[in-house]
Structure 1
Amino acid sequence: MTVTDFIHGDCVEIMKGFADNQFDLAIVDPPYGIGQNWKKDKFSQFYDHVNDFNNTIPGQEYFDQLFRVSKHQIIWGCNYYWNFLPPTNNLIFWDKGKDAKKQFGSAGELAYTSFTKYPLMKYYFLWNGCCVCETTKKIHPHQKPVKLYEQCLIDFAHPGMKILDTHLGSGSGAIAAYKLGYDFTGIEKDENYLNDARNRFNETVKQLRIDF
């Protein structure tokens, strides 16, 4: 039986309490620090609450702790953090489709990986700021599809691994880990988003049990 743990707090301070290599794989999506005012975001209709979103790029201490507590890492938005990351020739590109390019000026997102399995993985899931490849309510400005996290786990994880997400956000990572049978720990600083993610997770688990 898998264990899913949601923790409210600052991820750096929380990680200080974890042991070295406590987690097998960290799949994280830290804020990019691009200064977006989410109160004016055209997709704010998709979230129940839009607050002063913390969009500050994590510093050296965050990455020191992340690499200390996890054996492997997948880090979304790595093009914003190269000065904090070890060299790698193994990347993931998430292709969001042509609509995303028109709407946001970017056709996808890039992720760093510490693995040496694949020089480059490309995932194609339509996403243009709202839910396209999945029928699910958007509850977070940086929400990613569950299918994206599932594909990362399928390609890079194996049974028995413990998964860490330092920026839980909408909880997509937690849902993917549960569906595929992984123990998961998610940290979220914003209590509102934490509660939304937990509720989304519980509703999904309930539905999965009904379908089963």
Structure 2
Amino acid sequence: MDLYRFQSFLGKPIYEDKDILIYHGDSLELMNFLPKESLSLTITSPPYNIGKEYESVLCLDDYIEWMAKWINQVYFCTSLNGAFWLNLGYLSIPNQAKAIPIPYLIWDRVPFYLIQEIIWNYGAGVAGKLFFSPRNEKFLWYVKDPKNYIFNLDDIRDPNVKYPNQKKNGKLKCNIKGKNPTDVWQIPKVTSGKNRSSQERTPHPAQFPIQLVTRIILASSHVGDIVFDPFLGSGSTVEAAIKSGRKVIGFEINKDYINIAIERIKNIRFEEQQTIKQGKLFEIVTDNV
């Protein structure tokens, strides 16, 4: 489906640009207007119900019910060969668990087929004294049809091969494009702080690294596909999608975060224009040589 046909279902976005539609509002309400089987890839990280500035803490049963509702809506609007990548961390249950993985609590409430759990391992984080220092979150890779889904392994291969020229019977043992990245992804977290802040850091307290989202987009979609993020936050999914040649629809309830996302988009467009100008200048210089 053409990106701009979504406006007939969703109405006028708070922001639109080439291949981008951003809507301000509650995701659960907005998703009611999405047409059936219209999106090929959804990537998102919902609130973890742990008291972050962008969420209202619910009782555990209500939180699980809320998760189930919007995930079922994602399922409804996912194409037959589409995928759903869900990032989740941990929460506490009084008198039961200090940090239980949220996927344990919703495993039977998700209508998708689970292909795999991906472990995102990062370096920076909380330092534990009476427990091991946390250094991972989960990505659950779901599809609608386990026999028909997109997986572009060659687009995400890891070129860091220990023995790239090793041969067997005269043939290279490994793929010349690199190795499979495995189900443990060691990608740095977007850090904050005066002396260790990541270059891509925004004021959002729980920001996706571009490298992380880009790998998912390249693996589970094709150029020109629409990527959907119902909890857009600071816009990492937008940035990764447009840099990967995809289109994107995002929902976000917090206007401050939308403004951050818009600023990131404008910076990307400015960089694109500068690249075009430099290319034209190079052509002029070459023609005059």
Q: TM-score, normalised by structure 1?
A: 0.80
Deviations 1:108-151 (A, max 9, x none): 11011124659x63322212643869512322111111111111
Instruction: Find out whether 1:88 has 2:114 as its counterpart.
Output: yes
Q: Give 1:142's match in structure 2, choosing from 197, 206, 210.
A: 206
2:139 paired residue number: 111
Give 2:275's aligned amino acid. D
2:32 paired residue number: 16
User: Is this contact kept in 2: 1:2–1:178, CA < 8 A?
Assistant: no
**1:12, CA displacement in angstroms?**
1.3
Structure 1 gap ranges (5+)? 39-51
Q: Work out the CA distance in 2 between the residues paired with 1:134 and 1:208.
A: 22
User: Is this contact kept in 1: 2:190–2:207, CA < 8 A?
Assistant: no
1:207 paired residue number: 271
Instruction: Find out whether 1:163 has 2:227 as its counterpart.
Output: yes
Q: Work out the CA distance in 1 between the residues paired with 2:57 and 2:46.
A: 9
Give 1:108's aligned amino acid. N
Higher normalized contact order (CA 8 Å, seq sep 6+, divided by chain length):
1
Change (3 A) 1:55 1:178: farther
Q: Work out the CA distance in 2 between the residues paired with 1:26 and 1:206.
A: 27
Q: Work out the CA distance in 2 between the residues paired with 1:22 and 1:89.
A: 21
User: Is this contact kept in 2: 1:91–1:112, CA < 8 A?
Assistant: yes
1:125 paired residue number: 187
Structure 2 gap ranges (5+)? 1-16, 90-100, 154-181, 277-289
Q: Work out the CA distance in 1 between the residues paired with 2:56 and 2:266.
A: 25
User: Is this contact kept in 2: 1:27–1:75, CA < 8 A?
Assistant: yes
Q: Work out the CA distance in 2 between the residues paired with 1:55 and 1:138.
A: 24
Q: Please, which moves more after superposition, 188-197 or 151-160? A: 151-160
Secondary structure at the aligned position of 2:138 is classed as strand
Q: Please, which moves more after superposition, 145-154 or 171-180? A: 145-154
1:31 paired residue number: 47
Instruction: Find out whether 1:75 has 2:86 as its counterpart.
Output: yes
Overall identity of the aligned pairs, in %: 22
Give 2:136's aligned amino acid. G
1:62 paired residue number: 70
Instruction: Find out whether 1:195 has 2:195 as its counterpart.
Output: no
Change (3 A) 1:192 1:11: same
Secondary structure at the aligned position of 1:178 is classed as helix
Secondary structure at the aligned position of 1:16 is classed as helix
Q: Work out the CA distance in 1 between the residues paired with 2:218 and 2:67.
A: 30
